[in-house]
Amino acid sequence: MLIQLTGAVLTAAEMAEEHHVELPASPYVYGGVIFAAFLLMMLITVSFTNVGNRHEAEAEHVDPQRQFPNKHDHGQAIQD
């Protein structure tokens, strides 16, 4: 089995040598584009960090239709 595997690896290596394709741009261009994309995604993420603080927090009302009621409020929830 090891001999078959060695033969397959050598055949794949020979085929890889035959099909060499030049990149249309420099590798630095690809790196720069990827870096810029990640930087843009980071800036978009950071721009939404303060969205939850725009409004004052309101107390949650007790909803009898809730499937899993909050049992951790210790009776402090607002009753309608």
Q: What are phi and psi of 39, to 5 degrees?
A: -65, -40
DSSP code for 55: S
- Specify the pLDDT at position 54: 77
DSSP code for 21: -
What's the confidence (pLDDT) of residue 7?
80
Residue 35 lies in a domain: yes
* Tens digits of residue pLDDT in 19-29: 667 889 999 99
**CA-closest candidate to residue 64, choices 55, 77, 76:** 77
Task: Give domain status of residue 36, yes or no.
Answer: yes
pLDDT at 80 exceeding the cut of 60 = no
* Among candidate residues 47, 77, 41, the one with its CA nearest the CA of residue 69: 77
Q: pTM score, two decimals?
A: 0.46
Strand partners, 78: 61
Q: What is the pLDDT confidence band of residue 9, given thresholds at 50, 70 and 90? A: confident
Altogether, the residues listed in the chain come to a count of 80
> What's the total number of domains in the chain?
1
Q: Does the residue 76 lie in any domain? A: no
Domain that residue 27 falls in: 22-49
